[in-house]
């Protein structure tokens, strides 16, 4: 559904006939607060940082709703975003298109956030981009997931039949220049049962860091 150039998807509750609309808005209240006032406190910034590197290139191999990529781009990083789900990709594409029109940030955001529709492992095979950092936030759709209830409900529908990309972490470690950063719920098991080099803990989630040998 396209309303005023804003792409939305609709979830219909068959019991009460209630409709829930969902779109990607990078300049929503929470996203804008994170961008303007909370960047220095964001653990993801600490997680991706490379000492003495001025032009770190990051590949977000599981772009999802793009919220973390937006924060990274707002902090000066160049982000290549990969999303294989067709519907989520279209939502992201539409969200970025509207973001480009924002007079406050359109000059720099086009150069900082670049979106591709592809499977990450396939992207690794044909791209000429060699990122310093690969960021992974694989779906962990349980009740304790830190996404808002509305986002979680929509994501469950969109990815319920999507095949999990096998060995994504192992191949990401081989592909990256410096490190892989994996976002996980605080008590979730290690991705692919691989122990990280070190961990940065938050209150609801953590960042598992895998340094390239």
DSSP code string of 60-112: ETT-TT-HHHHHHHHTT-EEEEEE--HHHHHHHHHHHHHHHT-TTTHHHHHHH
Q: Token digits for 36? A: 């303007």
pLDDT of res. 4: 54
Give backbone dihedrals phi and psi of 170, rounded to 5 degrees, phi first.
-55, -45
pLDDT of res. 98: 86
Q: The whole model's pTM is what?
A: 0.85
First to last CA, the chain: 47
pLDDT in tens, the chain (213 residues): 555 566 766 655 656 666 666 778 887 767 666 666 555 678 999 999 998 887 899 999 999 889 899 999 988 899 999 999 998 999 999 999 888 887 777 667 888 999 999 999 999 999 999 999 999 998 754 444 444 555 556 666 666 556 667 899 999 999 999 999 999 999 999 999 999 999 999 999 999 999 998
Residue with tokens 């080099």: 197
CB atoms within 10 A of CB 154: 23
How long is the chain?
213
Going by their DSSP bridges, the two strands 179-185 and 133-136 should be labelled as parallel
CA distance 89 to 210: 27
CA distance 9 to 87: 9
Tell me the C-alpha to C-alpha distance, in Å, between residue 71 and each of 40, 147, 198: 11, 16, 22
Instruction: Give the model confidence (pLDDT) of 88-108 as tens digits.
Output: 999 999 999 888 887 777 667
* Beta-bridge partner residues of 206: 184, 201
DSSP-derived letter for residue 193 is G
What is the enclosing helix (H) or strand (E) of 153? helix 149-159
Q: Which residues contact 93 (CB under 8 A, 6 or more apart)?
A: 115
Q: Token digits for 68? A: 């973390």
* Beta-bridge partner residues of 12: 19
Give backbone dihedrals phi and psi of 129, rounded to 5 degrees, phi first.
-80, 125
Q: Are 189 and 196 in contact (CB under 8 A)?
A: no
């Amino acid at each position: 559904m396209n309303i005023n150039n804003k792409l939305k998807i609709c979830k219909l509750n068959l019991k009460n006939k209630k409709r829930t609309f969902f779109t990607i808005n990078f300049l929503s209240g929470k996203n804008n607060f994170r961008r303007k006032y909370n960047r220095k406190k964001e653990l993801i910034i600490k997680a991706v940082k490379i000492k003495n590197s001025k032009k770190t290139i990051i590949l977000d191999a599981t772009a999802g709703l793009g919220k973390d990529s937006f924060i990274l781009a707002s902090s000066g990083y160049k982000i290549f975003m990969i999303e294989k789900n067709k519907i989520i990709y279209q939502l992201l594409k539409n969200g970025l298109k509207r973001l480009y029109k924002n007079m406050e940030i359109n000059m720099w955001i086009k150069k900082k956030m670049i979106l591709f529709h592809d499977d990450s492992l396939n992207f690794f095979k044909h791209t000429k981009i060699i990122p310093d950092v690969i960021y992974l936030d694989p779906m962990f759709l349980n009740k304790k997931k830190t996404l808002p209830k509305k986002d979680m409900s929509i994501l469950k529908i969109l990815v319920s039949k999507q095949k999990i990309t096998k060995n994504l972490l192992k191949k990401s470690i081989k592909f990256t220049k410096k490190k892989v950063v994996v976002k996980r719920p605080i008590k979730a098991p290690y991705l692919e049962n691989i122990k990280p080099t070190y961990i940065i803990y938050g209150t609801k989630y953590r960042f598992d860091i895998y340094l390239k040998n």
